[in-house]
Amino acid sequence: MLRRLAVAALLTLAVGCRPGKSPELTVIGVVDESARREVVVVQVTNPASRPMRLTKLEYTFASGSETVAQGAIELSRDVPAGSAVVVEVPFDGDSEGRKVTLRGTLTAELDQIFQKFEVSAEVTPISAFGAAAK
């Protein structure tokens, strides 16, 4: 009987901890802060039915198989269920007008459990955003 209860508790925990739909990134634009530094502005959407707290984003900007820039930012942002927040991701590379993909691992706290989500978003050639922003 005790063994059945233990197995049932483990199964309940495993099902309850299974991540739901992953947060989504959408690129809003790029802000040119200086000749060698731009900021990619992304919207992070929480598709879960409960709030989550974003704590970290480890990211890579790549063009094809070439890494253009990478880094990590600490976050402390609450995202209500079904809502979105804006996050600024520093870009310290040179895209040379090429299409760039932002890929990363977003760490979030959901129901007091830290989870990691793989996220990605396509960035229109950064120079095109920069030209529009000037």
Residue type, 39: V
Domain spanning 19-133, CATH architecture:
Sandwich (2.60)
Instruction: Give CA–CA dist 50/110, Å, rounded.
Output: 8
The predicted structure's pLDDT at residue 5 = 33
11-46 pLDDT per residue, tens: 333 333 444 678 887 788 777 666 557 889 999 999
The predicted structure's pLDDT at residue 98 = 78
What residues does each domain of the chain span?
A: 19-133
Residue type, 131: A
Eight-class DSSP state of 39: E
From first to last of its 134 residues, the chain has per-residue pLDDT tens of: 333 333 333 333 333 344 467 888 778 877 766 655 788 999 999 998 999 999 999 999 998 899 999 999 999 999 999 999 999 999 887 777 778 899 999 999 988 999 999 999 998 765 554 444 43
The predicted structure's pLDDT at residue 133 = 40
User: Of 130, 110, 115, which is closest to residue 34 (Cα–Cα)?
Assistant: 130
DSSP-derived 3-state class of residue 106: strand
Q: What burial class does residue 113 get, using C-beta atoms within 10 Å of its C-beta: 0-12 exposed, 13-18 middle, 19+ buried? A: exposed
The neighbour count for residue 15, using CB atoms within 10 Å, is: 8
Longest dimension (CA), the chain: 70
The predicted structure's pLDDT at residue 31 = 74
pTM reported for the whole predicted model? 0.73
